[in-house]
Structure 1
Amino acid sequence: MAIDLNVYELLVIGDSDLLIHQVQGEWAVKNLKIIRYVQYVKNLCKRSRKIEFRHTPRIQNELADALATIASMIKHPDTDYIDPLDIELKEHRVHCSHVESEQDGLPWYFDIKRYLESGTYPEDATSNQKKSIRCMALNFFLNGKVLYMRTPDLSLLRCVGAAEAVRLIEQIHAGVCGTHMNGLTFTRKIL
């Protein structure tokens, strides 16, 4: 695309340190699947007056990851032109530690937990609601009084209500669980 737009000076930023060093010729390419791709990129580089490759750690590349995700979801009818995106970057990050309280005073997982404990449904549940509870219960595991949700990798996440969620978020922000960290690591720490 840069060649088609007559761009002759280019800065390429990537999150794969290995690929950047391989394209620059500093490291050997051992993976047979990418040898042809690296050679193709090197040939394209010969068409530029100046090209620089820079490594950016993946954790600092959140915007590029978001754009790549958006690009993979868009089906544009005209492959020659894609509408540009206007992106505003805010100067300060905003953190939200608000958890909505349960309307009836029961935790969000109450019906699932009761179904796993005793096989009973809410009194006014319709057949569709009962079916939903049964389907959702397949992804949960009850150990004594503690309810866990299974993730796709079969890890177990402990289910908490609104009050405990607020307490946990406050403790994590206060540094009780360790030092403050970036968003992705922070989320993994919570989970």
Structure 2
Amino acid sequence: MKVRRVQAHVDSFLVANQVKGEYESKDPKMIKYLEKVKELKGFEGAEVLHVPRSQNKKADALSKLASVAFDHLAKDVKVETLRAPSIMEVEVSCVETPGDNWMTPFMQYLGKGILPEDKKEARRLRVRALQYEMIEGGLYRKSYLGPSLKCIGPTEAEYVIREIHEGICGMHMGPRWWQREP
């Protein structure tokens, strides 16, 4: 079509000013749309102009599509339903693999019988491992007066501490010393 200059008329004052660079975009989706606009190449110039809804009957009719049936629209309004957004968001799932931590040597020794190569470290591990046991793939510290204590890694420890201080137990206040009678 050999188009060199593009002039777009929009009914959104906010969008027009964001494309011009007069307003800052903070919404992540809007930022992605603005990046798409900036990627448009092949034009000598592009301009986005704001048209108030009072001066644009087609845009006003389109803005009312959600609440008005199609029969009430003027015949010159074309309706296109978009099946997908023009910005495709890629979903990324963060998978965290547990790395080696202080429990790894104990679990290797108690689970598989693997000892460190250094004889001093191996002897030290054997002595300290007497305080631990493996139960259903987890490491537990033996307790003389109560149940075995579950050992957790750094990531789980952060979660447990956060849950104790901010979660359901967040408002633990301690004893009511101010209400005691003298």
TM-score by length of 2: 0.38
Higher relative contact order (CA 8 A, sep 6+): 1
TM-score by length of 1: 0.37
